[in-house]
Structure 1
Amino acid sequence: MRTLKLASLTALAAGVMMAGSALADPITIKFSHVVAPNTPKGQMAEKFKELVEESSVGDQVDVEVYPNSQLYGDDQVLEAMLLGDVQLAAPALSKFQKYTKQLQVFDLPFLFKDMDAVERFQNSETGQKLLTSLEPKGLIGLGYLHNGMKQLSASEPLRVPSDAAGKKFRIMTSDVLEAQFEAVDAAPLKKPFSEVFMLLQTDAIDGQENTYSNIYSQKFYEVQPYITESNHGLLDYMVVSSARFWNDLPDDVRPVVEKALDQAIAYGNDIAAQENQEAKQAIIDSGKSEIIDLTPEQRQQWVDAMKPVWDQFSDEIGQDVIDAARAANNEG
Structure 2
Amino acid sequence: MKKFMIGAVAAAVVATSGLAAEYTLKFSHVVSANTPKGKAADFFEKRLEELSGGKIDVQVYPSSQLYNDNAVVKALRLNSVQMAAPSFSKFGKIVPNLALFDLPFLFKDIDHLHRVQDGPVGEKLKDMVTAKGIVALDFWDNGFKQFSSSKKALIEPADAEGQKFRIMSSKVLEAQMKAVGGNPQMMPFSEVYSGLQQGVIDAAENPISNIYTKKFHEVQTDLTISDHGYLGYLVVMSKKFWKSLPADLQANVKQAMKEATAKEREYAKALETEQFNEIKKYAEETGKLKIHTLTAEQKDAWRKAVSKIYPEFYDDKLIGKDLIEGAINTK
Structure 2 length normalisation: TM-score? 0.77
1:160 counterpart letter in structure 2: E
Q: Matched residue of 1:273: which SS?
A: helix
Q: 2:65 & 2:221 partners in 1: Cα distance?
A: 28
Q: 2:72 & 2:203 partners in 1: Cα distance?
A: 25
Paired position in structure 2 for 1:129 = 124
Runs of 4 or more, structure 1, over 6 Å off, are 23-26
Q: Matched residue of 1:233: which SS?
A: strand
Paired position in structure 2 for 1:237 = 233
Paired position in structure 1 for 2:115 = 120
Shift in Å, 1:202: 5.4
Does 2:306 match 1:306?
yes
- Deviation string 1:62-113 (CA, Å, 9 cap, x unpaired) is 423323x666554554344335454322233344231123322222111111
Structure 2: which 5+ residue stretches go unaligned?
Answer: 1-19
Listed as ranges, the matches of 1:11-90 within 5 Å are 27-33=24-30, 35-52=31-48, 56=52, 58=54, 60-67=56-63, 74-90=69-85
- Deviation string 1:304-325 (CA, Å, 9 cap, x unpaired) is 3211111110123222222211
More deviation in 199-208 or 108-117? 199-208
Paired position in structure 2 for 1:160 = 156
CA gap of 1:182–1:248, structure 2 versus 1, over 3 A, is farther
Q: 2:232 & 2:195 partners in 1: Cα distance?
A: 23
Contact conserved, 2:44 with 2:256, CA < 8 A, in 1? yes
Q: 1:244 & 1:168 partners in 2: Cα distance?
A: 46
CA gap of 1:247–1:202, structure 2 versus 1, over 3 A, is farther
Paired position in structure 2 for 1:18 = none
Contact conserved, 2:166 with 2:204, CA < 8 A, in 1? yes
CA gap of 1:290–1:217, structure 2 versus 1, over 3 A, is same
Paired position in structure 2 for 1:172 = 168
Paired position in structure 2 for 1:149 = 144
Q: 2:243 & 2:192 partners in 1: Cα distance?
A: 36
1:30 counterpart letter in structure 2: F
Does 2:293 match 1:293?
yes
CA gap of 1:29–1:133, structure 2 versus 1, over 3 A, is same
Contact conserved, 1:94 with 1:172, CA < 8 A, in 2? no
2:304 counterpart letter in structure 1: D
Q: Matched residue of 2:155: which SS?
A: coil
Shift in Å, 1:57: 5.7
Between Structure 1 and Structure 2, whose CA radius of gyration is higher? Answer: 1
1:248 counterpart letter in structure 2: S
- Deviation string 1:10-65 (CA, Å, 9 cap, x unpaired) is xxxxxxxxxxxxx97972513223x4544432322232234346565658524233
Q: 1:236 & 1:183 partners in 2: Cα distance?
A: 24
Listed as ranges, the matches of 1:255-274 within 5 Å are 255-274=251-270
Q: Matched residue of 1:99: which SS?
A: coil
CA gap of 1:178–1:74, structure 2 versus 1, over 3 A, is farther
* One of 91, 94, 97 as aligned partner of 1:96: 91
Q: 2:75 & 2:189 partners in 1: Cα distance?
A: 17
Q: 1:36 & 1:71 partners in 2: Cα distance?
A: 13
Q: 1:251 & 1:212 partners in 2: Cα distance?
A: 40
Q: 2:90 & 2:68 partners in 1: Cα distance?
A: 11
Contact conserved, 2:26 with 2:60, CA < 8 A, in 1? yes
Shift in Å, 1:210: 2.2
CA gap of 1:130–1:206, structure 2 versus 1, over 3 A, is same
Q: 1:83 & 1:158 partners in 2: Cα distance?
A: 46
Q: 1:192 & 1:77 partners in 2: Cα distance?
A: 20
Shift in Å, 1:189: 4.0
CA gap of 1:229–1:36, structure 2 versus 1, over 3 A, is farther
Contact conserved, 1:165 with 1:184, CA < 8 A, in 2? yes
Shift in Å, 1:142: 0.3
1:320 counterpart letter in structure 2: D
Structure 1: which 5+ residue stretches go unaligned?
Answer: 1-22
CA gap of 1:250–1:141, structure 2 versus 1, over 3 A, is same
Q: Matched residue of 1:113: which SS?
A: coil
